[in-house]
Amino acid sequence: MQITNRIKDKVAARLGQGVNTQDRYFIVPFAFQKRWNHAQFAHSFISMIRVLGDEKQPRLIPGLRQGRFKNRDFEAFTISWAPHDFGTCPVCVFGGFGSRIFPTWNTCPIIVGRNFRLDETLKIALNEKGAVGAWGPHEIKKAAFDLGVKRKLFLDGGKIKYKADDRLTRKDLVAINCFPAMANLEEPYPNGGFLGTGFKMWGIDGTARVLIEYTKAVRDKGLLLEPVDIKKDLYGFVYARERNNRAYNPFRNASAYHE
């Protein structure tokens, strides 16, 4: 609730008190990781929001979450691509000696993937007592939102599977990890990071890499409607058992949460 209420309040502030005659669209990139930022405990995901214009009867998109906040209707969805048993079984990332350098040596299997909802993803992060970071909300054009819907429908269609190290499976659309699932909505699955797999680009660094791609590729075509300061726009939520407990906090600005 801390996370989603902050997003809602920031979107409401952007809309203001006056009449909202047009649909408005926003993205909220996320990441979570634990201390030492091991890849199997890190994840990148993104939520997209459409705030409906006042006194309009818009056509809603089936399968998206619908809600109302401060007298404004909205629909939203999340792209959070992970193993189907995410949160219950450890994620196999680099299996076998030398697999970080040579992808053919990686023994991790291709498995069934699933696109998780925002609440499901956050629950997994909080169960791990991880540090959750969020950027934005940043306003985008309708075309960007439509690209996100198209990506979500593709992931939900079951034609592609999951592999954390997707260097050999991404190009032919066999299996991908969370990073290319949400990166650069204009292209299927871009390369990223050292060795083309986002090496050392998971968690917060992974989502930051996605935002760099958005500002270079998407914004050039006018889909991102505002500048993004990747460092200053990041806000965190960190686990602290007690008020004065020393928490793992990789953020400049953060709130604490506890059970």
- Say if residues 241 and 258 touch (Cβ distance below 8 Å): yes
pLDDT above 90 for 191: no
Alpha-carbon gap, residue 101 to 94, rounded angstroms: 10
Residue range 147-165: mean pLDDT, rounded: 93
For residue 170, tell me if it sits in a domain: no
CB 223 within 8 A of CB 118: no
Asked if 52 contacts 75 with a C-beta cutoff of 8 angstroms, the reply is yes
pLDDT at 38: 87
Give the Cα separation of 234 and 64 in Å (integer). Answer: 26
- Choose between 55 and 181: higher pLDDT: 181
Instruction: With respect to residue 95, please indicate whether it lies within any of the assigned structural domains.
Output: no
Residue 222 lies in a domain: yes
pLDDT at residue 197, rounded to an integer: 44
Residue 103 falls inside a structural domain:
no
Where residue 199 falls among pLDDT bands split at 50, 70, 90? low
pLDDT of residue 242 exceeding 50, the answer is: yes
User: Residue 217: pLDDT above 70?
Assistant: no
Task: Residue 223: give the domain boundaries.
Answer: 2-15+23-81+114-158+199-257
Asked if residues 87 and 151 have their Cβ atoms less than 8 Å apart, the reply is: no
CA 73 to chain CA centroid, nearest Å: 22
* Segment 213-229 mean pLDDT: 74
For 141-156, what is the mean pLDDT?
A: 92
User: What does the alpha-carbon distance between residue 168 and residue 25 come to, in Å, rounded to a whole number?
Assistant: 35
Of 149, 147, 154, 131, the C-alpha closest to 207 is 131
Q: What is the CA radius of gyration of the chain?
A: 18
In a domain, 96, yes or no: no
> Is 49 a residue whose pLDDT tops 70?
yes
For the record, the structure tokens of 18 come out as 């006056």
Asked if the structure places residue 187 within a domain, the reply is no
Residue 60: pLDDT band with limits 50, 70, 90 = confident
The answer to whether position 134 is within a domain reads: yes
Total domains in the fold of the chain = 1
What is the C-alpha to C-alpha distance for residues 78 and 70, in angstroms, rounded to an integer? Answer: 22
- Give the torsion through C-alpha atoms of 89, 95, 101, 104, to 10 deg: -110
Q: What confidence score (pLDDT) does residue 161 get?
A: 96
Residue 59: inside a domain: yes
Q: How far apart are CA 32 and CA 178, in angstroms?
A: 12
Q: How confident is the model at residue 195 (pLDDT cuts 50, 70, 90)?
A: very low
Q: Is the pLDDT of residue 211 over 50?
A: yes
Burial class (CB in 10 A: 0-12, 13-18, 19+), 3: buried
Q: Is 194's pLDDT higher than 60?
A: no
Contact 210, 218 (CB under 8 A): no
